[in-house]
Structure 1
Amino acid sequence: PAAGATAAFALERPFTPNRDAAGYRESFERVQAWIRAGDCYQVNLALRFTAPFRGDPLDAYSMLRGTDRAPFGAYLPLGDGRALLSRSPERFLAVSSGVVTTEPIKGTRPRAEDAATDRAIAQELAASSKDRAENLMIVDLLRNDLGRNCRPGSIRVEELFALRSFPAVHHLVSTVRGELAPGHSPVALLRDSLPGGSITGAPKRRAMEIIHALEPAPRQAYCGTVFYLDDAARMDSSILIRSLLAEDGELHCWGGGGVVADSACDAEHREIYDKVGGYLRTLESTLR
């Protein structure tokens, strides 16, 4: 390459998870034991996938942009060769004219190439009592979170369990709105609601403690937020799922899902790969 040019992006080895299937099962079973003991109702359990790379992470992000229609995509250079690459489909908190909106995702199924099969999968998800119950747990948690900064009596659930389809997966998405209380700012709302309920669990604090005990690596930016705020107090923000972090010559990608009392380990493990497998395969296409 010419002086000062950046080499083309390429992985040097395939992605490897920080826990194999047996390790995930051990953590899954511990979560379910805590659920049976009454500590929690739902815990979001994640895997981290890592691969060494060379070149410019922005090229990797450009590759990922061609694979989906992520409404909350973001690329943030962080300095010292570090970068955040996010293809998030999930809104965390938005504020416009004092109206607060949050749109949690809970409920996932993989897409199918055959149209009839794909419709059947989507219909099964939309009717799934398990996925609806998971979604409703998080809706209730977020209503409580919004209550810290919204006008009393203003919080309402505008839509429950809407089916939204993306290139790789179908999701169930609910919409909750409220009115920001006088004297409360979008920044206070964001601060008091982090981390998002859809990627922690319920109750939130105990779920976070369990995640800290079970996940072998810190989440770093994963499941945090990227947001903008303008001088008219308009804000929008994402949940940093389907997101990768480039640092120290390695690319980390996380995937997770909510574990509840009637979850099946193999299905939850497979769901992680349904969510991020397409991104991993796209980047692994650079292997030589």
Structure 2
Amino acid sequence: MPEIKRITLPYQASLLSLYQALRSLPYPALLDSNHDEFPDTRFDILVADPLARVCAKQNTFHLEWRDEQQAQPLYTITKTDSPLALLEQLLTLSTQESWAKNAPKELPFVGGLLGYYAYECGHYVETLPDNVQHDISLDQLSVGLYGWTIISSHAEQKTELIITPWCSQQEEEKLLSLINKALDNTDKPLANQALDGISKAASFALKAPFTSNMTAHQYQTKFDKVKDYILSGDCYQVNLAQRFSTQYTGDPMDAYLRLREVCPTPFSAFMELGEQQTILSHSPERFLLCDQGRVESKPIKGTIARGATPAEDKANADTLLASEKDRAENLMIVDLLRNDLGRTCLTGSINVPKLFALESYANVHHLVSTVEGRIDGADQSIRVFHESFPGGSITGAPKIRSMEIIDELEPHERSVYCGSIAYFSVNGQMDSSITIRTLVADHGQLHCWAGGGLVADSKYHEEYQETFTKVGKLTHTLEDDFLK
């Protein structure tokens, strides 16, 4: 009976240098936990060269097999009318493999699906209007079926190459050759190599400062419109975002490494999607986790800037914890997520073990709650994810009406912002982020976004400033270090 292979590598506190060694392969992706800054984060994951890829954009989608010209595809797929249904079918077929059923449960990813969902994938879940300008060329969905992975388990200080029976001997040998070359060519820890040489002379450069797609007056007009909708009873909360854009040259990896250094987050990711298309995500927010049947979501709602001194910082944190407005906002989203998870989790399994907990990052404090449920079946995690997408913390409540208002008021597509980067392992494990604090590099254009949840007692100046507080660490760092 075929089984997965587990090949032990020298422990890597970061997989950045191994990513550099493998990034010439198609569709590489690094899920980067910044374990040194966030010791509770357990794993880093690196993949590349998928056996197949599902991609979608504005009501067209397809499944492409890597070896379609040379051999029969791995599975025969029944025709579907949705890329989400196609992905669910692909995961179900994969989890039925005998080796997948026997795969170790303690590993987060042993092969399976990994990729990103843009915010606009919500159109595959609900019937929604589409009036925004689509000016970003990235697919709205790009998920690969990966046959090998490198995992660093930080709690055990162990790095492994996981090879599934989907991989040929030739592919395994090529992969090991690339890895061994990277390991042999260094006399320093690999975790430090990719961080060397980050300076103003790096190849990455901005051509101009970031500019918003809204003036302050335009934002206020949209803010007032949201308040009108809330007061008329259309909704309770709407997440209104603005987009910041510029042009760049060079390698976005330089930008990612610099941002990783100054604003580390536990759900960081670097994904290359083809010629001049890259995702640089520095998200602090989990969307959904599935760990041996337990589903967890940790919505963020409530933000305040860090203080300049320890005393000011503590005062700001105490203010956030005591804020009735932020607590009410957070509770709305907790209720929304309880409803979303209730669509697919086992009856009676939904609970809220943590409400209004404080989490602190480089530039802000956040108010974070935890919602849990349970599922049964290794292929059910993707159904929970799809039925809950996009995360309620970045839409508003009620979700569908809020998304309709977002479509009406925001001039451009959100793309990867407020979507998710996710993996669905054949052993039933799953984890995903909400892609806030995320940049999209697209053929010389660089975009990032920031928004906030507007409620009845929101104040324009506070909400407008909060968007700059959230995005400022990203934009100011890149402008200070890379603007020529």
Contact 1:227/1:236 (<8 A) preserved: yes
Q: How far off its partner does 1:184 sit?
A: 6.6
For residues 70-102 of structure 1, give each alpha carbon's deviation from its aligned partner in whole angstroms, at most 9, with x where no partner exists: 000001111120111100000000001100000
List runs of 5+ in structure 2 lacking aligned partners.
Answer: 1-201
Q: What amino acid sits opposite 2:218 in the alignment?
A: G
Contact 2:263/2:473 (<8 A) preserved: no
List runs of 5+ in structure 1 lacking aligned partners.
Answer: 1-6
Q: How far off its partner does 1:183 sit?
A: 8.6
Among 52, 74, 78, which residue is 2:273 paired with?
A: 78
**Matching residue of 1:202:** 397
**Matching residue of 1:161:** 356
**Matching residue of 2:323:** 128
**Is 1:276 aligned with 2:276?**
no
**Is 1:264 aligned with 2:459?**
yes
Contact 2:421/2:433 (<8 A) preserved: yes
Partners in 2 of 1:231 and 1:185 — Cα distance? Answer: 11
Q: What amino acid sits opposite 1:263 in the alignment?
A: S
Q: What is the aligned-residue RMSD (CA, Å)?
A: 1.1
**Is 1:287 aligned with 2:478?**
no
List aligned pairs for 1:194-273, cutoff 5 A. Answer: 194-273=389-468
Among 231, 237, 256, which residue is 1:42 paired with?
A: 237
Partners in 1 of 2:273 and 2:219 — Cα distance? Answer: 31
> Percent same amino acid among aligned pairs?
54
Contact 1:223/1:241 (<8 A) preserved: yes
Among 223, 235, 245, which residue is 1:28 paired with?
A: 223
Partners in 2 of 1:14 and 1:182 — Cα distance? Answer: 49
Partners in 2 of 1:119 and 1:100 — Cα distance? Answer: 32
Q: How far off its partner does 1:258 sit?
A: 0.2
Partners in 2 of 1:245 and 1:37 — Cα distance? Answer: 36
For residues 213-247 of structure 1, give each alpha carbon's deviation from its aligned partner in whole angstroms, at most 9, with x where no partner exists: 00011001110100112221100000000001001
Q: What amino acid sits opposite 2:405 in the alignment?
A: I
Q: What amino acid sits opposite 1:110 in the alignment?
A: A
SS in 2 for 1:226: strand
Contact 1:17/1:47 (<8 A) preserved: yes
For residues 16-54 of structure 1, give each alpha carbon's deviation from its aligned partner in whole angstroms, at most 9, with x where no partner exists: 000011110000000000001100000000000001110
Partners in 1 of 2:344 and 2:375 — Cα distance? Answer: 6
Contact 1:149/1:184 (<8 A) preserved: no
Contact 2:379/2:426 (<8 A) preserved: no
Runs of 4+ deviating beyond 2 Å: 181-184
Q: How far off its partner does 1:112 sit?
A: 1.3
**Matching residue of 1:106:** 301
SS in 2 for 1:79: coil
Q: What amino acid sits opposite 1:195 in the alignment?
A: P
Partners in 2 of 1:229 and 1:121 — Cα distance? Answer: 38
SS in 1 for 2:420: coil
SS in 1 for 2:417: coil
Contact 2:306/2:365 (<8 A) preserved: yes
Partners in 1 of 2:466 and 2:271 — Cα distance? Answer: 27
Q: What amino acid sits opposite 1:149 in the alignment?
A: T
Partners in 2 of 1:40 and 1:268 — Cα distance? Answer: 18
Q: What amino acid sits opposite 2:322 in the alignment?
A: A
Q: How far off its partner does 1:182 sit?
A: 5.8
Partners in 2 of 1:12 and 1:154 — Cα distance? Answer: 52
SS in 1 for 2:483: coil
SS in 2 for 1:157: strand
For residues 250-275 of structure 1, give each alpha carbon's deviation from its aligned partner in whole angstroms, at most 9, with x where no partner exists: 10000000000000010001111111
Q: How far off its partner does 1:287 sit?
A: 1.3
Q: What amino acid sits opposite 2:307 in the alignment?
A: A
Q: What amino acid sits opposite 1:273 in the alignment?
A: F
SS in 2 for 1:83: strand
Contact 2:378/2:429 (<8 A) preserved: no
SS in 2 for 1:45: strand
Larger Rg belongs to: 2
